[in-house]
């Protein structure tokens, strides 16, 4: 959120994700971000908090923060769907 760039999620796990994008230099390790993610079968996007834990020239890796039990359950239920559609 707040960045108007084309990005691809190229790695996704229950603990975090890696985003590949040209403007990766705009984020720094330790920075907290918010990600708007629309789960299958959900009408609206869910806002997830994450922390940048790794930066590279072509992207950055993040760890999810403050996942509620219901949000963790939603991630677990949709993990196979996300994994099968990478990159998204």
pLDDT, one tens digit per residue, over 63-87 is 999 999 988 888 888 777 766 665 5
**Mean of the pLDDT values across residues 47-58?**
92
Location of structure tokens 């072509």: 58
Q: What is the pLDDT of residue 18?
A: 92
Q: What is the pLDDT of residue 69?
A: 93
| Sequence spans of domains, the chain | 7-84
Torsion angles phi and psi, residue 72, rounded to 5: -65, -40
Q: What is the pLDDT of residue 82?
A: 65
DSSP letter (8 states) at residue 25: G
Q: What is the pLDDT of residues 3-33, one digit of tens each?
A: 666 678 888 888 998 989 877 778 899 999 8
Q: Which CATH number fits domain 7-84: 3.60.21.10, 3.30.70.20, 2.40.10.220, 3.30.70.600?
A: 2.40.10.220
Q: What is the pLDDT of residue 4?
A: 64
């Amino acid at each position: 959120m707040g960045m108007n760039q084309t990005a691809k999620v190229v790695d996704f796990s229950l603990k975090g994700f890696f985003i590949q994008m040209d403007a990766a230099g705009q984020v720094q390790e330790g920075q907290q971000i918010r990600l708007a993610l629309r789960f299958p079968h959900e009408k609206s996007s869910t806002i997830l908090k994450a922390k940048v834990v790794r930066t590279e020239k072509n992207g950055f890796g993040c760890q999810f923060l403050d996942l509620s039990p219901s949000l963790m359950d939603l991630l677990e239920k949709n993990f196979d769907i996300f994994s099968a559609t990478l990159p998204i």
